[in-house]
Amino acid sequence: MKVSKQVFSAVCICVLIISVNSNYSAKAATDSNSQKTANAAADNKKEWQDTFEVDKKNLVNVGENKYFVLIPGYCLHYKDGDDTLTITVLDETKLVDGVETRIIEERETSKGLLAEISRNYYAIDKTNNAVYYFGETVDMYKNGKVTWHEGGWESGKEGGKFGLMMPAQPRVGDKYYQEIAPDIAMDRAEIVSVTETVTVPAGTFENCVNTKDGSALEKGSGTKQYAPGIGLIRDDGFVLVKADRPEKNDTKKENTK
C-alpha cells in the first residue's frame, strides 16, 4: 500500500509529539519524586533547637500548658507491671539560673522497693504557656538507702542551659533539647504526632501529642504521649493509672517575683 508524503509526515509529527509528552511526564514525575525525597531529607536533617529566646521576667512557677500541668498538688500515678512511678508537683520552689522554678518530684519503685527519687525544676512562660526545664537532682536507692546520684544538673552551672519541655503550640516536626548539660544530660524530643488517640488504664484520650525521645549522648529512643488537660500519660512502659488534681482554691497560688 502506498502512503503519501503528507500522511507520512503527519504520522512522524504525531509520534514526535507523543514522545516529547512522554519524556516530559516522566521527567515531571522524576522531579516530583526527587523533590519529595529532598524534602524528607531536609526534615531529617532539621537542626535540634538548643537555644530558646525567652524573657526570664515572664517565667513563673505556677501555670498550665495544654499538655503539662504545673500546679502544686497535681499528682500523676503510673504502673509498668509491678513497678510504679509517681509524679507530684510540690508546693516548693528553687531559684535556678535567676528563675524561681517549681519543683516536681518523681518517685519510682522497682519490685516494690524504692529505686529513685528525682527533684526536677520547671518554669512556665506566662505569655504563651511554654514549659522550660531547668535541671534536676537525682537520688538512686538500693535496699532503702541512697547509693549514688546520676544525671543531676542545673541551668547556669558548668555549661548547663535550660531546655524546652513542652512547646506552647506543639507541631509535628518540632525537634528540641529538653536538657542541655554537656557530658551529663542531653535529652531531646521530636514531635511525631498531635492527633493520637491513646488508651491507658486511666482512660481513652484523643488529640494526644506523641514524641520520640532520645539523647545526644547515647543511642536508642523511647516514646512519650501527652493528653490534653492531663499531661504525660505514657512513658515507654509506664502508663497512667490515675490523675489527682488539687482543689480549685489551691490552684490560685502564683509566683509574683
CB distance 73 to 250 below 8 Å? yes
Residue 179 within a domain: yes
Residue 170 lies in a domain: yes
Whether pLDDT at 72 is above 60: yes
In a domain, 23, yes or no: no
**pTM for the full model?**
0.80
In a domain, 121, yes or no: yes
pLDDT (0 to 100) of residue 10 = 47
pLDDT band at 146 (very low <50, low <70, confident <90, very high): very high
Distances (CA, A) of 242 to 29, 79, 227, 230, 252: 52, 10, 13, 10, 23
Residue 51 lies inside a defined structural domain of this protein = no
Q: In sequence order, which residues have a C-beta less than 8 Å from that of residue 98 and are 6 or more positions away?
A: 56, 156
Cβ atoms of residues 95 and 101 within 8 Å = yes
Q: What is the mean pLDDT of the chain?
A: 86
Bridge partners (DSSP) of residue 148 are: 140
pLDDT at 31: 53
Cα(194)–Cα(227) distance, integer angstroms: 10
Separation CA 155–CA 148 (nearest Å): 21
CA torsion angle 223 228 231 237 (round to 10): -30
Question: 68 lies in a domain?
Answer: yes
pLDDT digits (tens, 9 = 90+) for 191-215: 999 999 999 999 999 999 999 999 9
The pLDDT, as a whole number, for residue 248 is 73
The contacts found for 81-87 with CB under 8 angstroms, 24 or more apart, are 81/237, 82/111, 82/112, 83/108, 83/109, 83/110, 83/111, 83/115, 83/237, 83/238, 84/108, 84/109, 85/109, 85/235, 85/238, 87/232
* Domains in the chain, number: 1
Other Cβ atoms less than 10 A from the Cβ of 113: the count is: 11
Q: Residue 20 has what pLDDT?
A: 43
Residue 41 is predicted with a pLDDT of 41
Q: Is residue 257 in some structural domain?
A: no
Range of the domain at 115: 56-188
Task: Place 45 in a pLDDT band, splitting at 50, 70 and 90.
Answer: low
| Mean pLDDT along residues 34-46 | 47
Q: Is residue 84 part of a domain?
A: yes
pLDDT digits (tens, 9 = 90+) for 81-140: 999 999 999 999 999 999 999 999 999 999 999 999 999 999 999 999 999 999 999 999
